Amino acid sequence: MVSRLRHFFYLAAGLVTVFILHTIVVKRSDFSASQQSTRPSTEATPGSAHIPGWPHAGQSGISSSNSSAVSTPEGRVRAALVALVRNSELEGMRSTIRQVDDRFNRNYGYPYIFLNDEDFTEEFMKQVRAVTNAPVYFGKLPKEHWGLSPYVTEDKVREALERNKDRYLYGGSYSYRLMCRFQSGFVYKHPLLQNLDYYWRIEPDVEYYCDIPYDPFKYMQDNNLMYGYTISPLEAAPTVETLWETTRHWMLENPQFIPDQGFMSWVVDEKAEYTYCHFWSNFEIVNLSFYRSEAYQSYFDHLDRAGGFFYERWGDAPVHSMAAAILLKKEQIHWFEDIGYHHPGYSHCPQDSGMRSR
């Protein structure tokens, strides 16, 4: 009986996957971006032991240092530029602010939000304020947003870090996994973002090659767009070994969330195998109603329970991309081809001569 049930499950899973793939109207090539350079599961039960210095979600002493939601200039979209940044990344963050202000924000004055799992130093806040006239907000992460998931055990996490430390970039990094989990399922829940409809993620030490003579937030709003990106590389396969299988299980359990016409062929090929394509989320402009939706939250919770953020190294980029491919339609996604952008590892430079001349 067990073998028959198992056979039925995989047969059903295959049929659902094929059905979804046959409803797709967009090809992966529609989402290819101009790129340069290269860049290097079973459900777990909550653990009881505690690694010294490793805060459990909901159990550490971390709290928000600013619970007041951000307001935006009158007449502007309710939006902000948001960065998760360390005190040690001050100069890289100042450089990014100068880039963003010079190319775009000096004409619009959208607020900046800086988040940290530790208190920002007075020096950091002073030096950041010194390089922009835009409103600036600083926030500390609530304790439930930063820490070990309650669905993984610390012994298994230790084993995973040791096993993967030489397999791929950040393979042995615990803090990197905390960051990926936070960006995947908590950044949009921070109190400072509660009044916002859109956010633009920024990071230290990035470059913007071209002037942006319009408001991308307004463009997103006017065109009913949900997700905007500029670079779309491949994810390192060993970091997401069970992401697609875990996602497929969620899809089978939640067909009510799947639109009739998505663009899953960008992340899943004709053989229903993961392509590893993803939007590089260090640059993303997002309608936050997408992340706040019941469907996205259900998907994130399913991934969190599976443990892959810690036992593997599921990044927020493949998670966001998989969710967009499943839950959004092609016309809700936008490639900001005209925004020239560099993050260490990859660059995008517009090919259109008019765009390149900005």
Q: What is the 3-state secondary structure (H, E, C) of 311-351?
A: HCCCCHHHHHHHHHHHHCCHHHEEECCCCCEEECCEEECCC
Q: What is the mean pLDDT of residues 33-53?
A: 32
**Mean pLDDT computed over every residue of the chain:** 84
- What lies within 8 Å, CB to CB, of 1 at 6+ separation is none
How many C-beta neighbours within 10 Å does residue 226 have?
Answer: 22
Residue with token string 């390089």 = 131
Cα–Cα distance list, 106 to 97, 204, 211, 213, 222 (Å): 10, 18, 11, 11, 22
Active site residue 312: no
Choosing from 284, 294, 331, 337, the catalytic residue is: 284
pLDDT digits (tens, 9 = 90+) for 124-171: 999 999 999 999 999 999 999 999 999 999 999 999 999 999 999 999
pLDDT tops 60 at residue 118: yes
Contacts of 265 (CB under 8 A, 6+ apart): 21, 24, 26, 27, 28
Check residue 32 and report its DSSP letter: -
pLDDT in the model for residue 18: 41
Cα maximum dimension of the chain? 69
Q: What is the pTM (predicted TM-score) of this model?
A: 0.82
> What confidence score (pLDDT) does residue 356 get?
58
pLDDT digits over 343-353, tens only? 988 788 887 76
The 10s digit of each residue's pLDDT in 230-267 is 999 999 999 999 999 999 999 999 999 999 888 899 99
